[in-house]
Structure 1
Amino acid sequence: MDKQFTVSDTQNYSQQFKRVLSLKDLIIYGIAFMTPIAPAYIYGSAAESTKGMLSLSYLIAMLAMMFSAYSYGKMAAAFPVAGSTYSYTQRAINPYLGFFSGWAMFMDYVLVPLIVFMVGASYANALVPAVPYWVWVLIIAAVITAVNIVGIELAAKANNVLVLFMGIVVLVFIVFCFKAVSQGAGEGTLISIKPFFDSENFSTTLIISGAAMACFSFLGFDSITTLSEEALDPRRDIWKAAILSCFICGILFIVQAYAAQLLWPDVTTFPSSDAALFDIAKKAGGPAMATLYTVAVVISTLTAGLTGQSSASRLMFGMGRDQVLPKSFFTHLHPKFNTPVYNIMLMCSISIVGALLLPVSTVAELMNFGGLAGFMCVNLSVIVYYFFTKKEKKIFRNLVIPALGFIICFYLWIHLSHLTLKVGFIWLIVGAVYLALSTRGFKKVPPVFKGM
């Protein structure tokens, strides 16, 4: 029987969550956050910006995320606690840098359920126009919040079913696209290099910018590490789940983009760039395929919403436990379900307000700022903790891989839009002001930081 790890194995924390998640649960959790159908959110604009070479941008993004997934796994093995990016950076490098990494990822995790509320409500409203958009927002928010309050075990069971359904729809979509192409539609051939390299339109800048945009689809594999205190064997399973979920979704994204590009070669002619894959689904299999794809997108908002809200609540729990956020509020657990109920309700409230006031495009771009910033911190944490602090001089594992992860993420990060970078840095400044006030000008050190 596998050893049942407790937080006290590595930290001065008492075990507060139930360990119920297996490796399969963790992998599905990561896939549920990313969602197999994620290209539907960005395909039109991303395909147009890459001149039809989105498959190449997805490949680059996947490789970049794989390096970071490895680093997350390494740090989860060292510190199997809730808090993820925040906890790793805090303990490996510096407590204050840890706060800023957590603050950046907090923006990312806050925006995930927000954007899925928006997308889910939009498509649900399109299917059932009689029910207003704002009502759909409240319905989706109520379902996701209720499941998360009841507990992670119920959320895991729900994800198993929903991810399976989405996976089947994605495979059916790909098959129908290939079938239509083989019958003469689009490119008329199933083998083409153009989705990866079109000599007439190739531009390194376009591809890298596309890869930065494609990172949006991968945001979520890191959420697995927020469940370290609920995993049966965090040291063995977290790193495997992070890498495998990232790889599985990456292959699905690349093949979807490839199939869609073959069927609809001219990416400048979509009736609506926001609904490009729905038009492609309709071309591939008629109205029935388009409807099925729409239902799958609505389902994806539930899985991403469940995992996003859950991860954010546990990140806040970790920061509250360390007293860098108000402890009494952020560490409060439901007396029956043992879940961070105040954090979950706070996330629900923020997401509802944002879904009613903000545009989808702005939210999607801002997610990349927080996500890539957090990834850079975790890659750097592996180098500092393993290579320098523990002096494990394994050049490839503890230096080369995380260094490549850091460099790639940094390169993608600086290629985000000027608006995204401006708003992102404003968010970091707000965090700095909060930290300065809460520590009385950095004079009052939270207890967990003492001795670090």
Structure 2
Amino acid sequence: MTTRPPASVSSPSAPSGSSGPPGGAPHDSGLQSGLKNRHLSMIAIGGVIGAGLFVGSASGIAKVGPGILLSYALVGVLVVFVMRMLGEMAAANPTSGSFSAYADRALGRWAGFSIGWLYWFFWVVVLAVEATAGAVILESWVPAVPQWAWALIVMTVLTATNLASVGSFGEFEFWFAGIKIVAIAAFIVLGALAIAGVLPGSEGAASGFGNLTEHGGFLPNGPGAILNGVLLVVFSFMGSEIVTLAAGESKDPRRAVTKATNSVIWRVAVFYLGSILVVVSVLPWDSKAIADKGSYVAALDVMGIPHAGQVMNVIVLTAVLSCLNSGLYTASRMAFSLGQRSDAPASFARTSVRGVPQTAILASVVFGFVAVGFNYLWPDTVFQFLLNSSGAVALFVWLVICFSQLRMRGIILREEPEKLSVRMWLFPYLTWVTIGMISFVLVYMLTDDSEGGGRIQVLLSVLVAALVVAIALIRDRLRPATARAAVHTVTEEDTARAR
């Protein structure tokens, strides 16, 4: 299979009027504009709906009570602010490297290198988690096929999808996200009917909103439990930023990023707050059914929906496959961007004749396969270390986005102010407020000393981050001055068509 050489890195003075090859493909980057508007729309909407929403909300409800709504709202506000900052930079300069490329330019080579590799590490570990979760569900349906074989099948199919073309990735994600969206929308509508007392067969569900204040009140475990809830739900929001990476392979990246950024508020409000409100309204927060079956299955049961458990298994499997599909895509595009900036092997920046970074995809999935093996062979030692050491990376990414935006605003205004189509509100005050909120969550995680809890995740993640930063600083010091100057700025060829 023929490959194209990696794109060169342009300087700030590169002509802004350059155009890419026919079809809107980025100039010399090798990536193709294979994502359609409907793909980007579904990726943007479905990106905030992870399997964690369906399977992880029960523990948050048990710890906080109905007040878990405040935990979701706080994290939702945080995500809205972070996405607004990222949208400001991505609308001005869409690129496959997204926040890693912006950190490279705004904070220094070490920052782009470090956060890029940490983000890649985060997603390849997620690949192992989601492959195993999907295999568990599939084995329960077809026990004749062992769990490890299901994990292998799922990973192989989605690897082939990503290798085929970016359009095939987008098509799979379109339907995966569509199923999630329809499922949650139907759940909210059914829940609203049950709360109103007009849903046939929902006699077991409570009418009205009495469950929000009964059974010990709205905050039965005290106001402090809200922060404990934040720790439980914050990571279920990871993935919102994927659309800013995917936009680089669409025909109109600036429009896609602007649309996704502007819609993140209602997406968080409807899918997270809306669906959780239904759960804590139709069921008492301390219901045994929530603990035994999970929040959404328990809610569907009391609403009289037949085969609720199997229905939810199908939805969760869809969410798992979606996360696997987008996780492999995200990891490979970050590796591709690192290769373009000489922060990864040059082969990572080469694309196949179909316009996909084949080596970057295969390298990402190989590590994913290895991590799946660790999960089966050493689940409580090696794999648990990988899981914990990537646990706080999401918050590190958000912090880097904040600090990059503080610097990038000035760079954009100085060089190309007409591209500032999306602006962070109340800059720089809300940016600093967001930095404070994220820092507080990280510090608060240190108080959680439970097994596999926040403290160990923060400490191990900081250890891994420190190691990566040290490597970045050493590489930068050893790199010749001419090479440092040549790759100092964000790659612009892959966004020339958006200008």
- TM-score by shorter chain over 0.5: yes
Of the three residues 246, 252, 269, the one matched with 1:227 is 246
| Distance change in 2, residues 1:397/1:409 (3 Å) | same
| Distance change in 2, residues 1:396/1:170 (3 Å) | closer
| Distance change in 2, residues 1:243/1:267 (3 Å) | farther
Of the three residues 402, 406, 419, the one matched with 2:456 is 419
Of the three residues 145, 152, 171, the one matched with 1:138 is 152
Shift of 1:146: 0.8
| Distance change in 2, residues 1:193/1:281 (3 Å) | closer
CA contact (8 A) 1:322 1:446 kept: no
CA distance in 1, matches of 2:41, 2:426: 22
| Distance change in 2, residues 1:376/1:433 (3 Å) | closer
Is residue 2:296 matched to residue 1:277?
A: yes
Further displaced range: 125-134 or 21-30: 21-30
2:141 match? 127
Shift of 1:246: 6.0
Structure 2 counterpart of 1:111, which letter? V
CA contact (8 A) 2:392 2:458 kept: yes
CA contact (8 A) 1:44 1:267 kept: no
CA contact (8 A) 2:130 2:320 kept: yes
CA distance in 1, matches of 2:395, 2:478: 28
CA distance in 2, matches of 1:247, 1:423: 35
Is residue 2:273 matched to residue 1:254?
A: yes
Is residue 2:354 matched to residue 1:307?
A: no
Shift of 1:157: 1.7
Once the two structures are superposed, what CA deviation does each residue of 1:199-228 show, in whole Å capped at 9, x if it has no partner?
Answer: 552544321232233222221111111124
- TM-score, normalised to structure 1, is 0.86
Gaps of 5+ in 2: 1-16, 446-453, 491-499
* Correspondence list, 1:19-30, <5 A: 19-30=33-44
| Distance change in 2, residues 1:163/1:325 (3 Å) | same
CA distance in 2, matches of 1:172, 1:389: 43
Shift of 1:186: 4.9
2:204 match? 185
Structure 2 counterpart of 1:240, which letter? K
| Distance change in 2, residues 1:66/1:15 (3 Å) | same
CA contact (8 A) 1:59 1:254 kept: yes
2:107 match? 93
Of the three residues 345, 359, 376, the one matched with 1:342 is 359
2:236 match? 217
Once the two structures are superposed, what CA deviation does each residue of 1:310-368 show, in whole Å capped at 9, x if it has no partner?
Answer: 0110111111111111223x11322x322111221222222233234346998776655
Tell me the secondary structure at the aligned position of residue 155 of structure 1: helix
Of the three residues 465, 470, 487, the one matched with 1:428 is 465
Structure 1 counterpart of 2:244, which letter? T
Structure 1 counterpart of 2:350, which letter? H
Structure 2 counterpart of 1:339, which letter? V
Once the two structures are superposed, what CA deviation does each residue of 1:35-91 show, in whole Å capped at 9, x if it has no partner?
Answer: 366411311222222234222211111111000111111111232221112101111
CA contact (8 A) 1:33 1:220 kept: yes
CA distance in 2, matches of 1:291, 1:73: 38
| Distance change in 2, residues 1:194/1:309 (3 Å) | farther
Further displaced range: 422-431 or 348-357: 348-357
1:371 match? 394
CA distance in 2, matches of 1:435, 1:49: 40
Structure 2 counterpart of 1:373, which letter? F
Tell me the secondary structure at the aligned position of residue 51 of structure 1: helix
Is residue 2:419 matched to residue 1:401?
A: no
Structure 2 counterpart of 1:332, which letter? R
Further displaced range: 112-121 or 130-139: 112-121
| Distance change in 2, residues 1:125/1:173 (3 Å) | farther
Tell me the secondary structure at the aligned position of residue 343 of structure 2: coil
1:58 match? 72
Once the two structures are superposed, what CA deviation does each residue of 1:407-449 show, in whole Å capped at 9, x if it has no partner?
Answer: 2222223333101101201211331343355456566754544
Across the aligned residues of Structure 1 and Structure 2, the Cα RMSD in angstroms comes to: 3.3
Structure 1 counterpart of 2:49, which letter? T
Further displaced range: 60-69 or 164-173: 164-173
Tell me the secondary structure at the aligned position of residue 304 of structure 1: helix
CA distance in 2, matches of 1:303, 1:199: 34
Of the three residues 341, 363, 370, the one matched with 1:353 is 370
Using the aligned pairs only, state the percent identity.
Answer: 18
Is residue 2:164 matched to residue 1:150?
A: yes
Is residue 2:31 matched to residue 1:17?
A: yes
Structure 2 counterpart of 1:153, which letter? G
| Distance change in 2, residues 1:207/1:163 (3 Å) | same
Tell me the secondary structure at the aligned position of residue 415 of structure 1: helix
CA distance in 1, matches of 2:180, 2:91: 31
Gaps of 5+ in 1: none
Shift of 1:283: 3.6
Shift of 1:137: 0.5
Is residue 2:399 matched to residue 1:385?
A: no
CA distance in 1, matches of 2:246, 2:55: 26
CA contact (8 A) 2:247 2:256 kept: no
Further displaced range: 52-61 or 391-400: 391-400
CA contact (8 A) 1:317 1:331 kept: yes
Structure 1 counterpart of 2:245, which letter? T
Further displaced range: 173-182 or 115-124: 173-182
| Distance change in 2, residues 1:15/1:87 (3 Å) | same
| Distance change in 2, residues 1:436/1:363 (3 Å) | closer
Structure 2 counterpart of 1:146, which letter? A
Counting matched residue pairs gives 443
Tell me the secondary structure at the aligned position of residue 379 of structure 1: helix
Is residue 2:179 matched to residue 1:165?
A: yes
CA distance in 2, matches of 1:177, 1:125: 30
Further displaced range: 417-426 or 15-24: 15-24
1:81 match? 95
| Distance change in 2, residues 1:441/1:202 (3 Å) | farther
Structure 1 counterpart of 2:342, which letter? Q
